[in-house]
Structure 1
């Protein structure tokens, strides 16, 4: 039988045509090239010129620089516009066997299906049909056998009158399965006759889409391999912290940055005392474990995102502290010295201490063209030599006498032990902590069928979660669609947590919590909650000392002893003007004359003392309406994915903090006057 090649747009006969050396078709009626034809003699089968590659069927081909989600979004929007459909979905078959809607475009007022699990509406026969590549096109769901279909319940719930289901097939060499997912087109306004050209076009889109998926999987696999290679090249195998090679790269980078910003850069070089004797006494395996404990402790003594500790070689470690002057670096070195002693690892010699100790050398400089990174490293190394010569187990800074440690804060061991470790949390508790973080900052929880589920209460209190949140969460757990709920704007629903398939860590770019699949190697930011106008939000950095416009003024009451000058400069460059006081006796007429957007209490005093402070603050007319944020280490699980105490900057410089957080708290106080009788908004430390 002769094949009749017809135009998918006007159904006119097509003529063979060559474009740019590639065979294609030409329609004289439409007066344009078309990439494929419809074979009328073979059940409307799509036909392309035999030597044309599939990647050329759609013009232009999808470049690999697009993310898979961007490709999905473009695909559903393009299908909806071309077919004038009411709703277009991409559903993915998950490894667990669940069929989940991962992307959607819809006309209003039709309800959303995004994140819905539709497996319960699908039979084995449906799966088999789709695996065979059969396209299902139904013009009117109110007639025929479709009324008895298991998917009829879903179609009825979401007002579907006509639909097309196009399989997206991919052969999996491991499982042998070939169904990746579905393209689903809904017409909700009424029945509709689907044409052969529309079905052929969707079949072609499905082919192109699976190529994009395979391409994305390839680049993900390649990215994982590159990440592994980077870990091998840049991370020490024993201690799992950056090695000397990465230190030199990062040191040069921060040197250039601090030179541009004319800010101080400090180094701490430290050495485990008498480590050779330790190895000789306890053996090399025990020596490796000792180095691992030292590396872990030094790493978690540093709190700021830009600070880094690396293994320089043998038992020697080095820490880089950007935007830190000499006194601040000495204070950090003292904390490191104390934290190592708190480990109470038995020493091989009693010369200095019964426990393992470290000696530390500190050097600091404002980088310039007249100086070099090597000079700063040599100064820190000389300071370390002096610390050893003067008896070890001490901090030495060039230009001053050795510094004997005087505790200024709680030992790092107590700090770390007070924080619930991520691996000790159940999936439900991790989900609860993740949702609580965003809910306390004004992000809502949504249902795929009901939309936003309102919450207008407090999340934390001094001890544990606030009763507002506890009651509301219990109501969520009783819902039938509990596992399908999700944070508004997030690409993950609750079920991703409940099945143990996800973990949480910090976004590399904006510091927001980011959900990643278990076992996934995280390299580039992939969070969706911080997207604004299709761009990742970034902190406002200023160059050459030019200050950005101040966002708001903050009064901070803190008992943490440190040099606040550098922190004030850093905050000011990010749009926050902060004033630090240690107690209420420092409040004077000058402070009261300045308008503050918020007051933050970062003090280790007990609840009664802080509540009394708040009462006193509210006596001042200029401070009566100012939101007061107080940090408590007892405020439930806190933010367990950080594995550290939260600092002041954690509540100021991420997208849902700072002025955004203050605006939300003001909104709470105006919408519910009885909400917060104490006048304090508690948050985790």
Structure 2
């Protein structure tokens, strides 16, 4: 029995799948009314993260959020398990009777799920329609299962951490290290993606190229650290114009930036370009050797087209 459940449990590295498989197969094996996994957030508070029921009326969805968060575990005494054969037996304390009744529980068996020395959560089995005299094999089964479940949870969490780390690496690979806007690779990929999408939908695509005027002179006069800070400020100003999910600001190279504006007509792109000029002027970054004035300025180029599959956005 335990081998079959464990085998199915480890077929996935997704935590949600592991937990759902566990409660479903255990509920069917024990022919009980409810099996759930309760995860502690701030003990004794927590949340139900997986559940299997024999009838919809026993679903924890019928419980209030406050009741679901309270849990059913005596936190002052962490035993190997907690068992109630009959809600109405003399061994059950009045406070427990009230709580069990709110959960529609007549009989309950709970085993802690540990991660190292820490209490991660609980595996709970409930009979709601009638009392149940728990057998030793059922207790042993849940203990063995929680041991296996703890290992599977740890592996799933490590897998999630690895996935998150890989996603972060992928994200960083598409960011410019200085300005934290998209880099050239990000620009090329995004432009091609939007070109293909807009070609399919026959919608316009606008592109604005932005070049910092006299930037070499700025670097020579104020130094590279000031030049880097200037580029960061300009990038942040450009981001103020990028408000939709598909818009992209990228560092095209050196002191050049690009703004990709999908589904944007020329008139809309002109408005964005005008906003860019306004935001850059508001920065008032001194540039006493500028060919255009006393402050840092930018030159803009703008193009709008309706993409089609026979052409490419790349030259």
Taking structure 2 as the reference length, what is the TM-score of the superposition?
Answer: 0.84
Structure 1 residues 222 and 362: CA distance shift in structure 2, 3 A: same
Are 1:118 and 2:38 counterparts? no
Higher relative contact order (CA 8 A, sep 6+): 2
Gaps of 5+ in 1: 1-34, 37-53, 172-176, 376-685
73-82 or 231-240, which deviates more: 73-82
Are 1:147 and 2:93 counterparts? yes
Gaps of 5+ in 2: none
Which secondary structure state, in structure 2, belongs to the residue aligned with residue 60 of structure 1? helix
1:275 corresponding residue in structure 2? 215
Give a deviation string over 1:595-654, Cα, whole Å, max 9, x none: xxxxxxxxxxxxxxxxxxxxxxxxxxxxxxxxxxxxxxxxxxxxxxxxxxxxxxxxxxxx
Distance 1:58 1:158 in 2: 28
Instruction: Give 1:88's match in structure 2, choosing from 35, 39, 48.
Output: 35
Taking structure 1 as the reference length, what is the TM-score of the superposition?
Answer: 0.41
Give a deviation string over 1:536-590, Cα, whole Å, max 9, x none: xxxxxxxxxxxxxxxxxxxxxxxxxxxxxxxxxxxxxxxxxxxxxxxxxxxxxxx
Distance 2:10 2:203 in 1: 44
Distance 2:98 2:309 in 1: 72
| Over 6 Å off, 4+ runs | none
User: For the Cα contact (< 8 Å) 1:325–1:364, is it kept in 2?
Assistant: yes
1:169 corresponding residue in structure 2? 114
1:60 corresponding residue in structure 2? 8
Structure 1 residue 62: deviation in Å?
4.1
User: For the Cα contact (< 8 Å) 2:213–2:291, is it kept in 1?
Assistant: no
User: For the Cα contact (< 8 Å) 1:141–1:147, is it kept in 2?
Assistant: no
Structure 1 residue 108: deviation in Å?
5.0
User: For the Cα contact (< 8 Å) 2:44–2:75, is it kept in 1?
Assistant: no
Which secondary structure state, in structure 2, belongs to the residue aligned with residue 353 of structure 1? coil
Instruction: Work out the number of aligned pairs and report it.
Output: 309
Structure 1 residue 155: deviation in Å?
2.2
Distance 1:138 1:151 in 2: 10
1:353 corresponding residue in structure 2? 293
| 1:118-517 equivalences in 2 (<5 Å) | 118=70, 122-125=74-77, 127=78, 129=79, 134-147=80-93, 151-171=96-116, 177-349=117-289, 351-375=291-315
User: For the Cα contact (< 8 Å) 1:277–1:349, is it kept in 2?
Assistant: yes
Distance 1:224 1:365 in 2: 37
1:39 corresponding residue in structure 2? none
Structure 1 residue 230: deviation in Å?
1.5
Structure 1 residue 370: deviation in Å?
4.4
Structure 1 residue 61: deviation in Å?
4.2
Which secondary structure state, in structure 2, belongs to the residue aligned with residue 167 of structure 1? strand
Distance 2:289 2:12 in 1: 59
Distance 2:92 2:100 in 1: 10
Structure 1 residue 204: deviation in Å?
4.1
The CA RMSD measured in Å over matched residues stands at: 2.9
Q: Judging by fraction of residues, say which structure has more helix.
A: 2
